[in-house]
Structure 1
Amino acid sequence: MKKLKGIYLVIDPNQPWEALFDKTQQALKGGVQILQIWNHWKDGISESEKIRFCQEIKKLALPYDVAVLINEDWKFVEKSGLDGLHLDRKPDNWEEIKSALKGQLVGLTVGNQDELIVWAEEQHLSYISFCSVFPSSSVDSCEIVRPENIQNARSLTSLPIFLSGGIRPENLHQLDKLSFEGLAVISGILNSKDPELATKTYIDHLKMY
């Protein structure tokens, strides 16, 4: 598996699937390095349909050696043959999840809470993610992260750091004094008319900083 860095695309399964599969394929061609399936499912969708969706995304990612994670629904990692899990919060049943996902990738959203960074380090998670760096409609449940908290994370953990929330190529320069490995993006790529070009643009700007 590739080193965890670069552009981390969060896929919203509440969008029309065929178009979303096409957009994901384009983003992979553009250089996306991690995929996460957001647990934002349509009402009434069955478990078998969720598994089919996850397996289709995994099939798209396989030729690019890109890891596919799922948000929160940890039992779908094994059921769908995925590579790991992203947690929005520290789970009460962490020991059960840890045992079930031994050897798999696990990341955690940490926000402004230093104690979560320390916990992620102690538990040897795969990465941490800060949400939200800028205001964003797709992450309206996240608090705005203070830049000093992101910078301080380097003294608390050696884990890869990803930033998310309202990040665009044109505002990326505002993060140039921070230390991080990659960016998590949803609408900046999926709502683009050309996801491949949008991904390449993010990567080019990321290299500058």
Structure 2
Amino acid sequence: MSDNGGCQLYLVTPPTLAPARFRDILAGALDAGPVAAVQLRLKNWSEDDLLRAIDILRPIAQDRDVAFLLNDNPELAVRSGCDGAHVGQEDMPTAEARRVLGKSMLGVTCHGSRDLAMMAGEQGADYVAFGAFFPSTTKEPPAMAEIELLTWWSELMEIPCVAIGGITPLNCGPLVEAGADFLAVSAAVWEHQDGPAAGVKAFIAAMG
């Protein structure tokens, strides 16, 4: 997952899924258009269940040169062959996550805070995530972020930024124009009325 100069799509898995059934859904979505990364985000799952899900879904992404990231758990990400991990402010501290992951990818949730983002960058984050920019049906955001934050970050920093939170093909334009390197999306793809593949295609078209 790298910033190639244009905004790219970053998929976050649904909050609940059956890995064996979701495998083909994920493959179809990734085959529908260029996707930079997939984040496996399954809260309150046991480690054994997470490992089974990773074993089933990780190859689907990696075989297509799509980064496969695990939410919250850098140690398990390393042990299970993921490409990296994404941590929130309530999870493992950025500096510790950086140490655990070594050279693997590290993303950090920074909500709407410039200070948190700068601190994450200083402590080794490979990307920072800002949001929520819009109300989300996937999770209740702890805070909302201003679109101008993306412009401020992209003009000052080389570390890529991810926009997250309630993003759809219809409202993503201002985020792309403001400088988001990646759009992290979940429901707008997985719950698209014409299926996830159509959801990916709609985002690719909207991102220009």
CA separation of 1:29 and 1:114: change in aligned 2, threshold 3 A: same
- Cα deviations across residues 76-97 of structure 1 (Å, max 9, x unaligned)? 1122110101011175644433
Structure 2 residue aligned with 1:188: 188
Q: Report the TM-score when normalising by structure 1.
A: 0.87
Question: After the TM superposition, which of the residue ranges 192-201 and 100-109 deviates more from structure 2?
Answer: 192-201
Percentage of pairs with the same residue: 25
Aligned partners of 2:169 and 2:206 also within 8 Å? yes
Give the match's secondary structure for 2:171.
helix
Q: Which residue of 1 aligns with 2:39?
A: 36
- CA deviations over 1:27-62 (Å, ceiling 9, x no partner): 110222200011324xxx542221011121111112
| 1: CA distance, partners of 2:171 / 2:52 | 36
Quote the residue 2:17 is aligned against: 15
| Change over 3 Å in CA distance of 1:191–1:184 after alignment to 2 | same
- Check 1:120–1:95 CA distance in 2 against 1; reply closer, same or farther (3 A cut): closer
What is the SS of the residue equivalent to 1:61? helix
The TM-score, its normalising length taken from structure 2, stands at 0.88
Question: Which of the residues 27, 30, 33 maps onto 2:29?
Answer: 27
Indicate if the aligned counterparts of 1:168 and 1:188 stay in contact, CA closer than 8 A: yes
For residues 108-134 of structure 1, what are the alpha-carbon distances to aligned partners after superposition, in whole Å with 9 as ceiling and x for unaligned?
Answer: 111221111111221231111112010
Contact residue 169 and residue 202 of structure 2 kept, 8 A: yes
Paired residue secondary structure (1:171): coil
Unaligned runs of 5+ in 1: none
Q: Superposition RMSD on alpha carbons, in Å?
A: 2.1
In structure 2, what residue type is equivalent to 1:170? Answer: L
User: For the residues of structure 2 that align with 1:179 and 1:171, how far apart are their CA atoms?
Assistant: 14
| Equivalent residue number for residue 53 of structure 1 | 53
Shifted more, 167-176 versus 100-109: the winner is 167-176
Contact preservation (8 Å) 1:35, 1:68: yes
Residues 120-160 of structure 1: per-residue CA shift (max 9 Å, x gap): 22123111111201011213133111122222222442111
Aligned to 2:199: 198
Tell me the distance in 2 between the aligned counterparts of 1:112 and 1:143. Answer: 7
Checking the alignment, whether the CA contact within 8 Å between 1:160 and 1:181 is kept in structure 2 is yes
Unaligned runs of 5+ in 2: none
